[in-house]
Structure 1
């Protein structure tokens, strides 16, 4: 076998595994979960990317509701992957998980801010700034407290025969 075909064969075999082109490390810092990514996040690795982000978001849901995706060590981040992060961030925001993408590429941040699908994605330029922004966000969140047992409504509280206000259509 000549060296060219051998080289091509090894490259082809290696590229068939998304885990070789893209790797993740998840760790916790207090209430925050940090998902660090390395490699290339493109169309080929998108299913692996989404699986890893969703798994980390599930951990964040039980840890304190914050996931920081550190993309500063990625060699490439496709716009399709960026849109997937934005979609997942919207989805998880509805269940109480805040997702922030960290990228030191200012062009990517500007581009994301201009596109309708990605404009709502929280992006920071460093892990430190992400921690600061998200810590402030957590402090500003309204807190809900359970109603005392005395104030809880019962079925007879709104019964029309007892003189309470009628139900509106």
Structure 2
């Protein structure tokens, strides 16, 4: 067992089977794929937890139901649920979600990352940090934090 973890023995759930995407909508001569809940989930489902060798999906930190998308308004909200109320990695998890979506979505999208209401002791502070552009930019200037985020976002082949 790894010592010093906030949640040393998390419950691990089975991953959902991947579903195929619908065909793109054609507008003029260009294929435009509408961004929907499933696409967002597919982008973030394999992000690794910072403390465990499991994905956020396997730990039920994220789920398809906790994603809201308004493609017409270019808005995405992801609500995540830390495995424990005092999760010290909640901000890192939220930052991983934000960075993955920043790298995956067209720049026109506004992304809102939130901790599920009532699931974290410092929910308001975490939400404020994750949705403040200056704080996110400052966090992404920290090489150690960027390395941690990149490790969580690295594809897993296991």
TM-score, normalized by the shorter chain, greater than 0.5: no
Q: Which has the higher contact order (CA 8 A, sep 6+)?
A: 2
TM-score, length-scaled by structure 2 = 0.34
**Higher Cα radius of gyration:** 1
Q: Which has the higher strand share?
A: 1
Q: Which has the higher helix share?
A: 1
TM-score, length-scaled by structure 1 = 0.33
